[in-house]
Each structure stands twice: as structure tokens, then as C-alpha cells.
Structure 1
């Protein structure tokens, strides 16, 4: 028998389905001490801003101790805070301060690899008989003859020679990021104890970086989706996450719908939800790298979104996002960061927040921050720098290389948050670690909070709608205008109500006739007119509601 109390308990258990999550890249959010690098005290100083926006949780990109070879995704101590961000006491203050405002803190954990400066790896280098040696993936070989042809994601061989041991260690990313050996049960036990330690500190959840690569089998050229992957994840969840009411997010670049059902099984055996990226490859040449640009196809994009919206309905849960610390700014990618900057930013927000899943807002997305076009020497991202060198050596023209960097560099998302039109956009009193986008005098938080028609106010209203109308969480998705090359429209329906979301993905007017039963529906939000006159203007979008 279902009672009111059991329903309430179930809703509380799945709080993350109703939540909106805000991602912070701490290095670029707010600097409190003038060293040009954002820090935890800077985040603390902006908690009221986050509370006003209405978000429920903050996902922090890595703040654990790190040599910063890959901007913190190379962790040297999982149970300490990197001095550039502050102290463990600062983290405890942040968790408590956020909690008082109803905001949970989600930590970014990198469990696929560590830094080569982690004590485990330093011990592993001391000899094959050292108990920590088997914490990592090693293969015998001869210098200059790696075990196989596997390449690292950041360029070059995935195998690094250690002459003192006459062995190679495996690294899927930077040479300073040796992969952990999840086949070793002691490695897994150490990881579980670390996670339980953070849970006791009061964190509200974890985002698991490249978690689909922990079950690698490099001898078989397997990195993602290894045979033991879900076995490892289920054990991880059982030993840690299921001992608390957490939000857990698995980053899985190689996930398809069927795998995502495993990651986000409603029984809680793995994660709360999955981060999958199929929609993010729509403007990339098939079979090539992210730098190899292709035209955006709205029809193909709609097919992908429909597949995920219907494929996980009732049997899994997805993350909704346009941006993160690894992706370019969405208005520069699929919108218009010039004449229709505000209009297209709102359109993209409306389209995303109307779908089923947990929405993520990346810092600055809520004010319509855009890509930058730096000179090569002004970039800081290791992936960008390595790509420039490799492609130049392989005969690509510098112009083509820079076009790809301007479109896809991870530094597009890592420029300082634009708080006001003052010095360094209000980010820092010192020299920022990376250049501020020069458009901060026109686009910043202060200006947008004072404008009721701003991108910021659109995001704030969308967050409020999600909390007010259950259909945003529970509604079943149905795609409309499937073959239209400029219109993206869909409905969501459940017992409590229905919504219709419509959007023009272009700068040209587009014909769109509402189904008759929607013509007297209530407009919940729109970025131009009502959307009811048979024509949608440039980047026009809105959400209609009816019982």
C-alpha cells in the first residue's frame, strides 16, 4: 500500500530529479586573495548569488591537491585541498555555508588515474616488489618498443618508459596521469575509504570523471567500457554511495542508451544519472577528432535528443547540459554570439530545461558568456597546446589550426567569470591566470541582474518553473516537426499537466503552426512574442502549458 509518507520518502530519495545543478570551475570563478586564481573563499563570497539563482547543488571541478598538469584532473592527494584554492577548513566552511542555503556540494573525483606525484605512484616507482607497484598498470618491454600502438588522449604514446624498472606504465591522458589498476582489490578499497571520508565531511555527491575507462584492458586495446566496468561500479556504489542519500554522476563519453540504463538504473545499483555526450558530437566530422569541424544538423540533433529522451524514460536518468569545463560556449557553437546573443542564449536555455533529466548550468552560461579568440601563446590548456604542436608538425595550416582552437578549445569555458564591468570583470584584483574575455564590459552578472529581460532572468525563471510544475520532471517526451530544418518542438505529458516547447534554431523567420489544442494554452516563458502567430522570429522560443 502506498501512503503519503512513502511517497514523500521516495521524492526525498530522488531529490536530484527535481534539482538544477550549477558547475563551478574554481580556478576561474572568483579570486578572494588577489593571486589571479579563483579559490574556495571566492566561492563562499558568492553563495548568496547562487542561492538567488535558485540552484540546488554546486558541482566543483577538482579542488584536491594537484600539480595542475591537467588543471586539477591529476590528483596527488584525494584528502587535501590544493593550496591555490585554500584549505580543508575552507572546504568545510563551504559545505556548511552552502548547506545553510539549501545547496549541496558535489565533488569531482578522478578515479581512473592519479598524478605521478601521488604517494602511491612515488612508491610504485621504487621497485616491482613494492606493494604500491601493482596500484598502476605496468607492462614489460624494451626502451623505444612500447607494448602496443595505443595513443594517449592528449597526444603521443599511452605508454611511458621507466628505465629503472625496465617497464612501461599506462596513461590514457597526460604522461603525468598514470592509470590506476582497478583489477587490484586494494586499490578499490583505498578509493572506497577515501569516498566515505568525504561523505562524513557532508558532501552531497560526486561526479565521477571518465568513469567508463576504469576497467581498461590495454593488452586488448580496450579503454572504455571494459568487461568488468559495471561490476566495478556496482561494488563502488554498494560500498560507498548507497550508504548516503547522494547524487552521483558518471561521466561516460562512450555511453549509448543501453549502457546508460545500467549506469542510471532506478534501483540505485550504480549512479543517479549518466553524463553522455552523443549530442556533443553532432558538429564533428564522423570518425575524426573534435577539432575536425562539421556543419550543425538540427534534424540529426533532434533524432539524438529524441533517442535519449524516449530511451531512458521510466528506466534511467540523464544529465541535461550544453556546456562544461571541457566544452565551448554554447551560443558561439549553436547560437549567435553577435546580433542575437541574448535571444539565442535564452532559446537554448528553454530547449534544454524543458526536457527530462537533471539540468546543469555551467558558470557564465546563465549570462550568455561566449568563446574567446586568443593568440596561440595566450592559451593555457594542455590539450590545446599539444594539438597545435602536433597538427603544425603534420602539415596543417596555422589558420586552420587556430580556427579549430577558437571553436573547440577547453579554454573557451575557462575564462574568468564576468561579475561586473570593473577591473578584470570583478574576478580578481590581481592578474588573472588566463585572460578575461574582453566583452565583460557589456556582459556581466551585475548588468544582467538589473535587467528583467536578461539571459540571467530567463535561467532563474526556468529553474522556478521546474520546481513548480511536475511535468518538467515526469512528463513523457514526444517530438514534433521531426524533419523541419529550423524548428525544434516537442511536448511533455503526465497526469498533472502538459507542456509544449518550441524553438527556432536560426536567425531567419520560420513557419510553425501550433496544434489546435495548444492555441489557448498558457505561456510559461518566452523570449520574444507568444509563438502563436504562425511564424517564429529569429531564435524565438517558448514553453506553453495546459492541463
Structure 2
């Protein structure tokens, strides 16, 4: 891995295929739909697309329950369609990163079907026990399911249809490596690795801690960053990535990972991963779990980013994201999606993209898509949301309206509503009935309306992405947080020698004055990018930021 690796200056665009573009009118997005919209990504200026799972799957968890690692699910197309996507994306200078889900498979995968036989050589490819421990599933309920055929229980950290793989088995690991090489040889440019830090489980699978009033223990601390994680990842690098590092991207989804652990995972000298997705910043507004919603604490958010920026400044690399297929829309979460939707969407983009790391844009984020309004539990498709509703309302007796409000704010379905391409029926996503209802606001929030509008959210994202490609300060400048305790202003600099960028952002719907202390040395600096059409061309000594206003100014030209 070299210092000039391509992903340092690139931006990655995540596509959730079933919601991106439907080419055949069946209401589900597909690969040919992705191909038809590649020029949208060219116009945006991204360097790579990350494709959420398109493998064959029973779709219990929307494709994250894989039944065949060597093919494409018919709902998305064929291997020939996938190969065409690779060719068309590469012809446009866009790399293709696949989702890799190897902590678990579907219970319909042939490996698991064979594993159900206690005498099978693949029995040890999964976790089987005559008696379960007390671990709880992340999708509610116990993490163990009894299998009549086997007469034993199998482990599933997620859905009961997603049995966990036993990475202690060397034959399993070799088969996973072979599969990964097969996709890379086909032309794939890297992998986003789903919950990759769950693959190492503790010896003996001990019971987890029980909190007051719970039936199942919280085992996350036990199966997160387990004892052999680094061994497994280093072996993967030797067997799969060695010799290809400069052209590939490897990013691991790693819930519950600290800065110190991330340094180990992403230090190039250790040969594990290029970067990780950490969750500290998106858990700022959570209480006991994601459904226990708290107001955004901007001071805590700034401190969190500062810790990660400094922690990986000399070893490793940050990934930068607000949205993905597991998160609600950021403009509804931490912005103002009514009066100041455009301004706050642009501000949130500015703050994120000017940090050190590789930014990820989730489909629709670049046009300021918002959460939708789900009327009842029947409107939700997400298994996590539906399981939580059943558990909370039926078992614990919580008020249905309170639970629904939490789901409306935090459900993964908010990020999965169809991409809003234009103001025609179904937002131009499909000529059929979409698998998940389109957000009604597509009439005025859509890509077609913004593509040629220089004041649009899309234009702002395009400018930020171009700035990352052309301004070395964004990639390599030293990060310094300013006004760390200010409850409304997010301010920081990116500097090198006499050159620098200053970022000022007002996270509120009120006008606020920037304290003079943050302005030392910056008055008169020219504007690089602002989120209001009439942002001043230079920074004045006394700055008063309008509601949700952000400005970036430059100092020095050498």
C-alpha cells in the first residue's frame, strides 16, 4: 500500500441495487438499471461505486443472507450483466467495489444445508452446540436457533436465517479466499466487508453479561474484535490481496471498534485493511440502543471526529460517512429537512468532506433526500424494524405509537426508499410498483431538477468532490478543531506550512456570530465554497453565520 493510493483522493458512491434503478418494471432495482445511470456518477465525479449485495439470496435481510457466493440473484440480473457493469464503469473511470458478507451466510446456502448433518465434513463450518449460551441476536431475541434435523442449536448474531460461519476452520477460510480471488480475477476493484470484525469468536463462547430485566446477554463485547481477528485478516491479505494492493480498496465495517483498534486494522505496515467504517459518530444520539433517540450533542460529535482525525493521522486512514443502507437520512436526522433542507444538506456535506479520509456518498444523499413518513408497521420492509416492533410492543408492552415514532426516525428503510430521479411516476425509479414506497416529496426533490442547477445540493456535492481531487490540503493537511465547546458552530482547519483551509459551519436555525478567537489570521481569505448562493467572496473580521450556513476559505497559494 503506497501513500499515493487512488482512494485517498477519491469519493466512493454506495448503490443499494434494489432501490437505485429498475430496468424491467418489476419494482426492484437491478444491474441494468445501474448501468443506465452510470453517467449520473460521472457527472458527480466519484471515483468508485460500492455495490450492496447482488448475490443469490432468499432476501430475508435484503441480500445480506447469501446462498451462493459465485453468482448474481436473478432479481438483479445475470453474471453477464455484472460483467457489462464492470466494463461500462471502468470505461468511465469508475471502479467497482463489491459487498463481501462472510461473517454469516443464508441458512439456504449449500454449506449450511450440508452442515446440518452432524457427520458432514462441513459441520464445523458453522457454530453448533447441544445447549446454547445466553447471547442475544442483534435482530431481537436469542442468538441461537434449534435445528430439528441436527438436534442442536446454531449461532446467528443476526437473523435466524443468517447462521454465523466458524472462521476457526481452516478449510472454510481457504474456500472464502478462493471465492474472493475469483471476483478479483473477474475485474472487481475491492471489497466492503460486512461486520468483518465479528468473524473471530471467543474460545468456548462464554455467556454474556445480563443487564437488569433482560433475558439475553449483550455479547457484542465478546464477539467484536475477537482474539484471532488480526490473524484472519493478515492471512486474507496474504492469500487474496498480496501484489494487488495499489489498485484495490478494502474497507471493513467494524461496529464497536476503538481508535486504537482501528490503528491496528488500517496501519499499512500490518497488511490488514485500507480503512474501516466505525460507528462512534452515528451513535452520538443514541441511548441504550438505536431506538432510544437523544438530541444531537454537537460538542460530543466534534470531539468524536477530532479523536478519530488525530488517532489515524500518522497510521491508517479514515472513512467518512453520514448515510448508508443501515442509517436514516442525515438531513432529517441532524439537519433541517423542512425550512433549511438545501442549506443543511450542503452544510453536512461540507463538514464531512473536508475532514481527512475517504468520503462515502449514499445514493440520494447528493440531492438531499429525506426520511419518509411510514404510517404503520405494515409499511416497513426491514426485518430489524419489524422484529423490534414485535419485541417492544408484544413482549414488553410498549405503546405502539411510541415505538412507531422511533422506527420512523431510525429505521433502515429510510435510506432504502427508491432513488428519486425525476418528477414522473415513482420518481423515475420504476414503471412498476416499487418494492418499497417512494417518498412523496420526489415531486420537488429529484436528480433531474438539480443536475443543471448551479445552486443545487447536487452541484455542491460535485464541487466538494472536485475539491478533494485537486486540493492536497483536503487529503494531507493537518486537522485542527476550533471552538470545541461551542454548541452551534463546527469549525476546523486543514493546514500545511503556510497554506490552509478554514471550515465554519452553523449547525442551527438561528444566526450566530463566530467568536473572534477562531478568526485570527483568516480575515480577507478568499471563499473556496459556501452553501448560500450569495456567500461573500472573502471572509470578514466579524463573521455572522446565517442559519445552517457553511463557508470554506483558503489561506496561502504556495
TM-score class normalised by the smaller sequence: over 0.9
> Gaps (5+ residues) in structure 2?
209-221
Give the CA deviation at 1:267. Answer: 2.2
- Contact 1:471/1:496, CA 8 A, preserved across alignment: no
- The corresponding residue for 1:136 is 126
Give secondary structure in 1 for the equivalent of 2:149. Answer: coil
- For 1:405 and 1:200, locate their aligned partners in 2 and report how far apart those are by CA, in whole Å: 41
Q: How does 1:20-31 map to 2 (within 5 A)?
A: 20-31=11-22
Give secondary structure in 2 for the equivalent of 1:308. Answer: helix
Give the CA deviation at 1:268. Answer: 5.7
- The corresponding residue for 2:530 is 526
- The answer to whether 1:184 aligns with 2:175 is no
- Contact 2:234/2:270, CA 8 A, preserved across alignment: no
- The answer to whether 1:213 aligns with 2:219 is no
Q: How does 1:36-185 map to 2 (within 5 A)?
A: 36-125=27-116, 127-141=117-131, 147-185=132-170
Give the CA deviation at 1:497. Answer: 2.8
Root-mean-square deviation (CA, aligned residues, Å) is 1.2
Q: How does 1:325-344 map to 2 (within 5 A)?
A: 325-344=325-344
Give the CA deviation at 1:542. Answer: 1.4
Q: How does 1:143-542 map to 2 (within 5 A)?
A: 147-217=132-202, 219-220=205-206, 221=208, 222-244=222-244, 245-267=247-269, 269-285=271-287, 288-375=288-375, 376-393=377-394, 394-495=396-497, 497-512=499-514, 513=516, 514-528=518-532, 529-530=535-536, 532=540, 533-542=542-551
> TM (normalized to structure 1)?
0.95
- For 1:113 and 1:402, locate their aligned partners in 2 and report how far apart those are by CA, in whole Å: 29
Give the CA deviation at 1:194. Answer: 0.3
Deviates more, 1:484-493 or 1:533-542: 533-542
- For 2:402 and 2:119, locate their aligned partners in 1 and report how far apart those are by CA, in whole Å: 49
- For 2:311 and 2:441, locate their aligned partners in 1 and report how far apart those are by CA, in whole Å: 40
- Contact 2:17/2:29, CA 8 A, preserved across alignment: yes
- Contact 2:264/2:270, CA 8 A, preserved across alignment: no
- For 1:293 and 1:155, locate their aligned partners in 2 and report how far apart those are by CA, in whole Å: 18
Give secondary structure in 1 for the equivalent of 2:521. Answer: helix
Alignment length, in residue pairs?
530
> TM (normalized to structure 2)?
0.93
Deviates more, 1:528-537 or 1:181-190: 528-537
Give the CA deviation at 1:243. Answer: 3.3
Give the CA deviation at 1:482. Answer: 1.1
> Gaps (5+ residues) in structure 1?
1-8, 142-146
Give the CA deviation at 1:495. Answer: 4.3
- Contact 1:351/1:501, CA 8 A, preserved across alignment: yes
- For 1:397 and 1:27, locate their aligned partners in 2 and report how far apart those are by CA, in whole Å: 32
- Contact 2:156/2:164, CA 8 A, preserved across alignment: yes
Give secondary structure in 2 for the equivalent of 1:326. Answer: coil
- Contact 1:116/1:178, CA 8 A, preserved across alignment: yes
Give secondary structure in 1 for the equivalent of 2:303. Answer: helix
- Contact 2:499/2:555, CA 8 A, preserved across alignment: yes
Give secondary structure in 2 for the equivalent of 1:99. Answer: helix
- Contact 1:470/1:496, CA 8 A, preserved across alignment: no
